[in-house]
A and B are shown apart, each in its own frame.
Chain A
Amino acid sequence: MVVGTSVQRVDGVAKVTGKARYTDDFTMPGMRVAKYLRSTIAHGRVSSIDTSQAKALPGVDGVFTFEDVPKRIYATAGHPYSLDPHHMDITDRYLLTDHVRYMGDEIAIVVAVSDLIATKALSLIDVEYEPYQPLVEAKDALAKDAVEIHKGTGNVVKAHSFVAGGDLDAVRKECDQLLEGQYKTQIVQHCHLENHTAYAYMDDLERIVIVSSTQIPHIARRIVAEALEIDTGLIRVIKPTIGGGFGNKQDVILEPMVAFLTKKLDGIPVRLKLDREEGMVGTRVRHPFDVKVQIGLDQEGTVKLIHFDALSNTGAYASHGHSIVSAGAAKTHYMYPRAVYSCTAKTIYSNIPAAGAMRAYGSPQMTFAIECAMEEAARTLGMDSAEFRLRNGARAGDKSQITKKPIMTCGLLDSIKKGKDLIGWDKKRALWPKEQTGEVRNGLGVAIFSYGSGTYPVCVEPASARLILNQDGSAHLQVGATEIGQGSDTAFAQMAAESLGFSFSKIHVVSCQDTDVTPFDTGSYASRQTYVTGQAVMRTAEQLKAKILHHASIISGLEATLITISGDNIVISESPEIVVMSVQDVAIDAYYNKERGGQITAEATYKARNNPHVFGCTFVDLSVDIPLCRVKINEIYNIHDSGIIINPLMAEGQVHGGMAMGIGAALFEELMVDPDSGKIYNNNLLDYKVPTIMDIPDLGAAFVEPNEPTHPYGSKSLGEPPIISPAPAIRNAILDATGVAINELPMSPKTIFKYFKNAGLI
């Protein structure tokens, strides 16, 4: 068995030796450097711009402003194209703009022979602005007389509402208790270690080659084509090794610009690389949410209804803004699927950096609100927090109120039970004093989550793979899906090896995507790849296997149905110890026999039409130092139902990483905006508090593994979910320790101070 074992990751050696090549590790003779001129105000219009001095500077190849770019508005969200006109992404960007919508908006760009000359040239451009009042918060953007950030929108990107599972008013009347709460989440930035970077050059007079650190090469290709009005076939996007993305590279940010620049400059290679300070405002962030939740309960402690009213701030451009809240609402509703579930939501524009996709896509925000509210519910009822969730949480066989489909596998209750054991919930509850006094107090907290495995049925879920049998009996595997650190290439190789009967070392994954060559797949997002792409890989492997067996049968004269592949050999199915020949023998014959055969290849494409749900929870034990307003996590566990685990070590790594990001968002991270000017104060890694190794406690990960019937290996999603539940669990534990309910993120010492002061604790 290869599936289910912790084989070493296929890109591991390249990465520990530093031999893995990322976008910036490729250079070309004569490559130029591009740098943006970014606005110094958050809202307004460029009234004049003078680039003559910059253009005259020796070493400058070109200076382009909003006047020079195609008058073509495009959308940047890395979604698959939608055939449904109501489901199109929002087109609200030009390559460069004179209408400034956030501090740092791109108004011009310089191309020069070096970084220093490009920077010098930027300083020689004179810009004058007609400033407008920056609209930073919702109340500003929605004010009656507010200037429209995008014409005709009233500063609302999208408003939605839905009710699932029953009549809201009727159920409300049946409830014995209605509880309400309001919860706020902050702006978080992805902070992948590799910044956004891309370069482009031309192959001939028409064809543009783009090398980019992207999660979505095939989508990027389409969007570049749209932005520049060029045929898709003339654009080639290459994705080398990438240093993290977390959703921020599920957006097409630099690719259209580098393509435009090389085209303008006769095909010379141009690199556009954002530095950290620029990237933290000029790419994407997580949407801050403000969510009102109402929970309806009956006397026994059953949740009858969950209703939210959510406000999401997408900032200067829509990016993924139109889909984040609804995705968050839909994916979280599986936690408590027996309740009526209703949501009204509004996403607004404002003059802050554009928000887009980030790990778990709206779910962390929604789950924070729901799981805080559920904690209030449990406490109001005097029920144990874990017990309350065991009572109300999803079970296999429950029906989704939204899709009306049954939940096939659900390990939620088992994961709660496992979490209770791991943290010693009952024991600590019994031992710890009910009322704590003193400066340092301990608390226990729990929160649960649900998520999906892809985007179906909202979006199409296509994946494709190709396998080529080599002369040595190994196979090369190509996928359009992207390895971004999560380990998908290794999981694909495991599944291919397993399906083929090859040993793991005989599968070589082509880790680099090249849209001229690699089969189509929409890329890395929505935790979809192991579930969706994995199935394309398996179908491809089955085809390849059939072709290998067919050729082996021609060589051997044995019926193809009587033989199979095992341990890199062709063996008799009934007696696998009898080796007929090696796979290598088959390959050599296929390649070189003058009379028969040919290269043995297979290719398959697959569209997922299922979206199984994943579940899990976080359990935390922490101490709060009240006078110092500081939280110390003593123990923390995430328990996941992701179906059968393909690679336990890598799965654990995904969970650890997500937990750390979740802890970061819970206690440390916030991109801070000056409410008057729209300026971001802390767009660097010193002032934006990504947790260091000192800030993350020992992490515990565990799994429950129901076998998901819609996937050949029983697998479901895992990449994003670990980030979802740590924040509410931590918040609930702080409440447990101190009696203070903190209803906003991050729960940094500054926030905690505010709450403790109000509560009279300090």
Chain B
Amino acid sequence: MIRTISCTVNSKPVSWQIDVRMSLSEVLRTNGFTSVKEGCGVGECGACAVLLDGIAVDSCLYLAIWADGCNIRTSEGESKGGTLSEVQQAYLDNGSVQCGFCTPGLVMSSTEFVEKHRGEKVTRDQIRKEHAGHICRCTGYESIIRAVEQCMKPYEKGK
């Protein structure tokens, strides 16, 4: 059941031999993208979320073969040239990181959110709804919402 998939991970083209029974998280982790965490294996916690062609999926519940031809983004790729992405920086500024196990996945959902809603005025309710696929046991979510709000602020002004 071995196939080859070709995709782009964090802007780099890759070609991987995979077993069709493998989840995307397994393939990513085996290839060194260990920011992708496994907290449940069944799409309940969101720790393995990555962006696939710009939308968040739980890579534990997604066959690797489906990622053939896709553009994948993980937390490792979000910091560039030693600089954190605005979402990553906002997470640090707001104390949104504790044990950090949920963080890489949440950072990806926040990244999708911030890129999607750039320029809009968003509500806390909207932030909540679009981060609802992640469980964080440490922070109580308050600081995560604050981090997203911080990212949205500079863009609101334009509107």
Contacts and interface: CB of A to CB of B under 8 A. Distances in A.
B39 interface: yes
B95 A649 contact: yes
Interface string B89-119: 0011111111111111001000000000000
Contacts of A117: none
Contact of B137 (A244, A276, A649): A244
A698 B124 contact: yes
Contact of B138 (A20, A649, A657, A699): A657
A16 B124 CA distance: 22
Contacts of A487: 98
Contacts of B42: 276, 684-686
Nearest to B143: A653
A750 to B, nearest CB: 21
A83 interface: no
A652 B140 CA distance: 11
Interface in A1-58: 6, 8-9, 11-22, 24-25
Given A191-B137, A241-B100, A660-B141, A16 B92 contact: yes
Contacts of B36: 18
Contacts of B78: 17
Interface string B119-141: 00000100011011011111111
Contact of A693 (B35, B39, B144): B144
Contact of B129 (A16, A242, A690, A694): A694
A698 B45 CA distance: 21
Contact of A15 (B103, B129, B141, B142): B103
A205 interface: no
A693 B103 contact: no
Contacts of B102: 193
Contact of B99 (A6, A19, A485, A652): A485
A13 B92 contact: yes
Interface string A226-250: 0000000000000001111010000
Nearest to A192: B137
Interface in B12-60: 29, 33-42, 44-45, 47
A276 B100 contact: no
A17 B101 contact: no
A24 B96 CA distance: 23
Given A12-B92, A656-B143, A693-B141, A17 B76 contact: yes
A656 B140 contact: yes
Most chain A CB inside 10 Å of its own CB: which residue of B40, B100, B102, B128? B100
B98 A485 contact: yes
A693 B98 contact: no
A689 B98 CA distance: 21
Contacts of A699: 140, 142
Interface string A333-357: 0000000000000000000000000
A194 B91 CA distance: 20
A651 to B, nearest CB: 9
B132 A690 contact: no
Given A660-B141, A699-B142, A16 B101 contact: no
A694 B39 CA distance: 19
A192 B99 contact: yes
B100 to A, nearest CB: 3
A699 B144 CA distance: 12
B91 to A, nearest CB: 5
A167 interface: no
| Most interface-central of B45, B136, B142 (chain A CB within 10 A) | B142
A17 B142 contact: no
Given A18-B35, A21-B34, A191-B137, A653 B132 contact: no
Contacts of A657: 98, 137-140
Interface residues of A, number: 54
A650 interface: yes
A11 B100 contact: yes
A659 interface: yes
A193 B47 contact: yes
B79 interface: yes
B44 A686 contact: yes
A193 B142 contact: no
A487 B44 CA distance: 26
B138 A685 contact: no
A118 interface: no
Contacts of A195: 39
A24 to B, nearest CB: 7
A696 B138 CA distance: 12
A656 B140 CA distance: 5
Interface string A687-708: 0001011101011000000000
A463 B137 CA distance: 28
Contact of A243 (B34, B37, B93, B132): B37
A276 B136 CA distance: 15
Contacts of A653: 95-96, 98, 138-139, 143
A715 B46 CA distance: 36
B137 A659 contact: no
A478 interface: no
B65 interface: no
B140 A659 contact: yes
A136 interface: no
A9 B137 CA distance: 18
Given A193-B99, A195-B39, A649-B95, A18 B137 contact: no
B134 A18 contact: no
Given A193-B39, A276-B40, A696 B100 contact: no
A484 interface: yes
Contacts of B35: 17-19
A266 B90 CA distance: 48
B84 A16 contact: yes
Given A13-B84, A19-B35, A194-B101, A693 B40 contact: no
A699 B95 CA distance: 14
Residue in B75, B79, B136 with the greatest tally of chain A CB atoms within 10 Å: B136
B108 to A, nearest CB: 10
A661 interface: yes
Nearest to A487: B98
A18 B135 contact: no
B37 to A, nearest CB: 7
Given A17-B78, A193-B135, A660 B140 contact: yes
A8 B145 CA distance: 18
10 contacts: A16-B97, A24-B34, A192-B101, A276-B41, A656-B141, A660-B140, A660-B142, A685-B135, A686-B42, A686-B44
Interface of B: 29, 33-42, 44-45, 47, 74-76, 78-79, 84, 88, 91-104, 107, 124, 128-129, 131-132, 134-145
Given A16-B107, A193-B101, A660-B140, 4 more contacts: A9-B97, A193-B99, A276-B44, A684-B40
* 4 closest residue pairs by CB, A with B: A18-B35, A485-B99, A243-B101, A660-B140
